[in-house]
Amino acid sequence: MARRREQVLDAGIQVLGSEGARRLTYQAVDAAAGVPSGTTSNYFRNRAALIDGIVDHLQALERRDWENFAAAAAPADAGELADAVTRFLRYATGPERARTAARFALYLEATARPELRPTLTRGRETVVGWGAEWLRRFGSPDPRRHCEILFDYMDGVAFHQLAFPTEDFDPGPGIRELLRGLLG
């Protein structure tokens, strides 16, 4: 039962991220999940409940990805951090393109539904905590603020790559330049 719900939520993220918020319907999610018609509505009584479920599921998936990223990255210096962030951005705009686009769509949804903001904010705060610790180790005088700047830049780069994709996407030089500026 839990697996079917997760299957529906994965499909919801896929529809939201690849087709946009206007195409997020019970029918589209059922089709993307490959489940019988009506399955999505059995789990989520209305569109708002479906979006709430997608927000929670997306946060769990992204937390898992960031935990894996943090464990695997373990950068020894700012150069290694820049390389790790570059790999992550390529992952987020490549294999996980739809998930990243879904996150941005949910940010826009939060402009109309402010009740989504706390959950979306909690996910970001967790990741800022990890990144701030790295920046502190590498000499940042204001690691939390600098991590927020780094993440804002990463979001902008990812958004731009999603909207205007280039085959030779290389965020590395910009990430390195930003980190040099933040860390002195």
How much is the mean pLDDT over the chain? 93
pLDDT digits (tens, 9 = 90+) for 25-47: 999 999 999 999 999 999 999 99
> Residue 33: what pLDDT?
97
pLDDT band at 22 (very low <50, low <70, confident <90, very high): very high
Provide mean pLDDT across the span 73-101. 93
* Residue 175 to residue 79: CA distance in whole angstroms: 9
Q: How far apart are CA 5 and CA 84, in angstroms?
A: 33
Residues 6+ apart with CB under 8 A from 7: 33, 34, 35
Encoded tokens for 73? 């990255």
Q: Check residue 24 and report its DSSP letter.
A: -
pTM of the predicted structure, to 2 decimals: 0.91
